[in-house]
Amino acid sequence: MNDRNLMILAGMLGAAVGVGVGFVLFTDRGRRLRAELQPEIEGVIREAVKLSQTVDEFNRGRAVPRPSAAAGPSAWPRRTV
């Protein structure tokens, strides 16, 4: 894809996003759509925050209990087949 085609594609994409934003913000149907979707959007945001907190806890080492170094290899359970 050459630069000209890429610029045309980017312009078309920008125009489509602009039309969508204009519809949602400035029409009565768009306002109703926002009102209907707001509870679902807030739920998705809550879940994303929970996921972010869980990832932060995991990165800090609080989410998964670790055996102490002093316990040695016996701290890990043995696997039986």
What the block records as the tokens of 3 is 């630069």
pLDDT per residue, tens digit, the chain (81 aa), is 789 999 999 999 999 999 999 998 899 999 999 899 999 999 999 999 999 999 888 888 765 555 555 555 555 666 665
Q: Are 64 and 58 in contact (CB under 8 A)?
A: yes
Q: Which residues of 5-43 are buried (b: 16+ CB within 10 A; e: fewer)?
A: eeeeeeeeeeeeeeeeeeeeeeeeeeeeeeeeeeeeeee
